[in-house]
């Protein structure tokens, strides 16, 4: 967040606690579609069945039946040829960012990342002092000539990408871009680090094949239950080649011995007594409704804003008219009761000409009202 003035963070924090401000600046899933009752029942069942063992220390790699469930789902859903042995449980996929960088990045090593890119990844990687190489992404996926140049010239340790409904842009790599990325990285020194936080949240319910499936032994793939089951339980996973996973396991053990065992048991119980696909559709349907309302409001009320049209996920990106700063729009918006996320934190430089809008934690009425306020702010600045 070095890209924004310190005052921004203070205002953002104040805004999140102010009910009079309609916020598109955050990134929380909606709690309205979480199955609290089902998870409470799963917890009660775990205590009844496992007893004190539910509270004991556990293994670093994670609860084996949960890892088997995840591997089985990958095999069935996207044809990924893995077993529980390829999976490490972590505290949400955020922990993968930290530990992957810890295992693979020495100060000065090159790391390739999308522009715009996920803010949490930039922050986590930055602590290991890499040299970042930016790869612009757009409707067609990553800029392939740039990616090729970066891979050849900078030899990054990995290319970090979110091919499905990316945060912050909402963009999804088309099929042909996935194949091209796999072809380009295959045989290079650069691993793919594919973060799939949103792959269960496509509005059409269709699973997209991970690029990792076409880079056996050369790709890391992270996932999470945070977006569809329980963000606060902090449960995600990393799929990785055997030798990377062994190193990652050592780092995980040093970091916190193992992820919360009780919650792994509870999630596994829920997953084996409920239908995850039904739950994902429930979440995706709500987000689709919100996304349409947001897109309609933008097109009606802010026709000067070009924006992405997400196929899923929780975010879209809008480009501001020439001469309007996203940081200025943030300040003016807050004065008018609407908050948006300025662009600079998602870039390694620049980015003040775009804003990120969240649509998971809102509703159609708030979208219309909030974007109306944003239109006022744009007019005031224009």
**Binding residues for its own copies, per CB under 8 A?**
28-29, 31-32, 34, 36-37, 39-40, 43-44, 47-48, 51-58, 90-92, 94-95, 97-98, 102, 120, 123-124, 126-127, 226, 229-234, 251, 253-263
Q: Which is nearer to its own copies, 150 or 230 (CB)?
A: 230
CA distance 214 to 98: 25
Residue 227 structure tokens: 């977006």
Question: 357, 327, 337, 285: which is closest to 6 by C-alpha?
Answer: 327
**What is the C-alpha to C-alpha distance for residues 238 and 306, in angstroms, rounded to an integer?**
35
**Shortest spacing between CB 17 and its own copies, in angstroms:** 11
Q: How far is the CB of 333 from its own copies (least distance, A)?
A: 23
Nearer to its own copies, 113 or 329 (CB): 113
**Closest to its own copies by CB, 2 or 323:** 2
Min dist. Cβ of residue 41 to its own copies (A): 9
Q: Which C-beta is closer to its own copies: that of 62 or that of 163?
A: 62
Minimum distance from CB of 377 to its own copies (Å)?
27
The residues, any chain, with a CB within 8 Å of residue 65's CB and separated by 6 or more, are 268, 272
- Rounded to whole angstroms, how far apart are CA atoms 328 and 376? 13
Q: Which is nearer to its own copies, 213 or 284 (CB)?
A: 284
Q: Helices marked H in 257-317 — which ranges?
A: 261-273, 276-301
Cα–Cα distance, 147 to 178 (Å, whole number): 13
d(CA 356, CA 26): 9
Spatial separation of the C-alpha atoms in residues 141 and 14, rounded to whole Å = 36
Of the pair 46, 334, the CB lying nearest its own copies is at: 46
Nearer to its own copies, 11 or 325 (CB): 11
- Smallest distance from the beta carbon of 277 to its own copies, in angstroms? 19
Q: What does the block give as tokens for 380? A: 């005031």
Query: Residue with structure tokens 């091919």?
Result: 163
Q: Are 310 and 170 in contact (CB under 8 A)?
A: yes
The residues, ordered by sequence, that sit 6+ positions from 323 with a Cβ below 8 Å of its Cβ are: 382
In angstroms, what is the minimal distance from the CB of 120 to its own copies? Answer: 8
- Neighbouring C-alpha atoms within 13 Å toward the C-beta of 142: 32
Q: Shortest gap between Cβ of 337 and its own copies (angstroms)?
A: 23
Instruction: Write down the least CB distance from residue 78 to its own copies, Å.
Output: 26
Specify the residue, 264 or 326, whose C-beta has the smaller distance to its own copies: 264
Tell me how far apart the terminal alpha carbons of the chain are, to the nearest angstrom. Answer: 26
Length of the chain: 382
């Amino acid at each position: 967040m070095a890209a924004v003035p310190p005052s921004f963070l203070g205002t953002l924090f104040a805004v999140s606690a102010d009910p009079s401000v309609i916020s598109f600046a955050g990134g929380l899933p909606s709690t309205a579609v979480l199955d609290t009752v089902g998870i409470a029942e799963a917890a009660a069942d775990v205590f009844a069945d496992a007893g004190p063992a539910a509270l004991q220390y556990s293994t670093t790699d994670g609860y084996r039946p949960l890892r088997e469930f995840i591997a089985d789902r990958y095999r069935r859903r996207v044809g990924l040829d893995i077993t529980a042995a390829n999976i490490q449980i972590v505290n949400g996929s955020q922990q993968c960012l930290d530990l992957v960088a810890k295992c693979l990045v020495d100060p000065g090593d090159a790391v390739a990342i999308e522009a715009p890119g996920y803010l949490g990844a930039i922050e986590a990687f930055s602590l290991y002092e890499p040299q970042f190489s930016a790869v612009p992404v757009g409707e067609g996926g990553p800029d392939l000539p740039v990616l090729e140049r970066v891979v050849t010239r900078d030899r990054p340790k990995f290319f970090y990408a979110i091919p499905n409904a990316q945060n912050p842009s909402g963009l999804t790599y088309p099929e042909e871009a996935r194949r091209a990325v796999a072809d380009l990285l295959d045989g290079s020194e650069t691993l793919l680090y594919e973060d799939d936080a949103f792959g269960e949240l496509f509005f059409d319910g269709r699973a997209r094949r991970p690029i990792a499936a076409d880079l056996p032994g050369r790709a890391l793939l992270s996932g999470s239950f945070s977006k569809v089951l329980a963000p606060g339980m902090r449960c995600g996973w990393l799929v990785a080649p055997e030798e990377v996973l062994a190193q990652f396991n050592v780092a995980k053990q040093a970091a916190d011995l193992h992820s919360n065992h009780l919650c792994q048991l509870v999630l596994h119980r829920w997953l084996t007594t409920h239908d995850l696909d039904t739950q994902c559709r429930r979440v995706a349907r709500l987000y689709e409704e919100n996304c349409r309302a947001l897109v309609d409001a933008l097109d009606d009320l802010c026709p000067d804003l070009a924006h992405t049209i997400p196929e899923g996920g929780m975010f879209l990106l809008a480009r501001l008219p020439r001469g309007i700063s996203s940081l200025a729009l943030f300040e003016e918006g807050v004065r008018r009761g609407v908050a948006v996320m300025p662009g600079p934190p998602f870039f390694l430089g620049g980015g003040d000409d775009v804003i990120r809008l969240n649509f998971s934690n809102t509703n159609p009425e708030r979208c219309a009202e909030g974007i109306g306020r944003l239109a006022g702010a744009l007019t005031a600045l224009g």
